Structure 1
């Protein structure tokens, strides 16, 4: 008598779950996913991602420019105040020397 060979199931190490009553699972259809995730075309998703990154980069640059301009104006104003204070102090010293 020849030994019969038993084929292994296509699972890890040929093991099967003993739960034969469980139905086979299929992928879930998710209709509430965002449009970017639903898109099956990889290039479309990458293009949208690149556009979003470009927009964020532009916004950051504009914000940096605005902050730089505000900082520059503040420095100019402080310089003027210092110069005016220096002039006022020199005038007072000159007035003290004359009297």
Structure 2
């Protein structure tokens, strides 16, 4: 697993090489965790090529709009994104029909 923190510093615009890596590393058993507090600053291609998304509270309207478009969220859930408590998130994954709200337990 490769974790890339502050991903908006690296994936701000379309980059064919990076997009190809992200779309193909899975077949080699490599996982990527792309972390950003500003999803609107990440290339739309990168967002499209990520299967599992965990969305914590977002305040900026542009970030909420990008996530809404990426996940096809209903407006009721979009309006809820900035009201998520600490430890709550919206989870979207290929095996989940619709995004759901989850509570992440503190482990330490």
**TM bracket (short chain):** under 0.3
Q: Report which of the two structures shows the higher radius of gyration computed on alpha carbons.
A: 1
Q: Which has the higher strand share?
A: 2
Give the TM-score normalised by structure 2: 0.16
Greater RCO, 1 or 2 (C-alpha within 8 Å, sep 6+): 2
Give the TM-score normalised by structure 1: 0.17
Q: Which has the higher helix share?
A: 1
